[in-house]
Amino acid sequence: MSWLSNIKEGRSRPSLPLSVFGRAAPGAGSPVVLAFLMMPGIIVVAAFFLIPLALVVMRVADGPDGWATYFVILTNGWYFASLVQTLLMSAGVTLTALILCSICGLFLVRNQFAGRSMLTALLTLPLSFPGTVVGFMVIMLAGRQGVIGSVSDAIFGEKLVFAYEISGLFIGYLYFSIPRVILAVMASAEKLDPQLEEAARSLGAPTWRVVKDVILPGLMPGLISSGAICFATAMGAFGTAFTLATDIDVLPMVIYTEFTRNANVAVAAALSIALGAMTWVVLFVVRCFVGNSTDVAPRGGA
């Protein structure tokens, strides 16, 4: 009799040789088998990450300043300003996206209305657009021939143009960051238990305490993970910055300028390492925070 018939008749399932139901196959834990299973991942990581990263690090030493190039990018005013500006803008985009998407995500999950699916699709539409298209859309909105400029010129007699400034880049980054955040927020919001909020309100908790003590802790895993992705994407985004960057000195554009126009490969490599290291540190801190919040959450919920 087949194992499916056994299940239908309430009999126990026979053990399988593979680890399908949590049992390890014979010899699956041996070093040889583990090395064989890990080999494809190791090859991919080495070929497309470790080796190129090592070559980039070595190119820093080939410059006229040698390893002191890292010190140069921190003491040079232009390089350091681009580092700080990129970090602050990415953090601002992440914070703004988290606030907007938390409100919109909760509303979409808890309310049924006509056009809800269409609105959700529109909010996630920027996922299909490359950075250059997003930059062009910002130009059409706030550029010299944009809608905002035409309206302000008709009303005040002066065009309002900010597409080529840091504010225009901020809007572009926020535009393609919203889909990455709102999907995670909606997934977390669907798992919230409304009874916890009702219990908090029945005990006299004001709305801000319900949000602080019930809703935000429930959304926190989605907020942290999506915020980390949003920050990392904003730190290294190039297409939108390349389309808009007339007077914008963000780190991806500085790296592009040093490498292609000035042929300053050592500085471009040092800036690339600094960009990657800075992003990695932030993501590492986020991961540590996620681990701590996971350890504390069960006790707080109890």
Evaluate if residue 20 carries a pLDDT over 50.
Answer: no
CB contact at 8 A, 238 and 251: no
79 in helix, strand or coil? helix
Task: Tell me the whole-structure pTM to 2 decimals.
Answer: 0.75
Which domains does the chain possess? 36-301 (1.10.3720.10)
Q: How far is 230 from 223, CA to CA, in rounded Å?
A: 10
- Tokens 């809007």 correspond to what residue? 171
Q: What is the rounded CA–CA span in Å between residue 31 and residue 40?
A: 15
Distance of alpha carbon 41 from its chain centroid, rounded? Answer: 23
- Confidence check: pLDDT of 22 > 70: no
Cα separation of 75 and 13, whole Å? 68
The pLDDT of residue 278 is: 83
Could you tell me the pLDDT band of residue 94, with boundaries at 50, 70 and 90? very high
Query: What average pLDDT does the segment 199-220 reach?
Result: 83
212-249 per-position pLDDT tens digit: 888 888 888 888 888 888 898 888 888 888 888 766 78
Q: What is the residue type of 265? A: V
DSSP letter assigned to residue 248: -
Of the given ranges (27-36, 53-62, 124-133, 160-169), which has the lowest mean pLDDT?
27-36
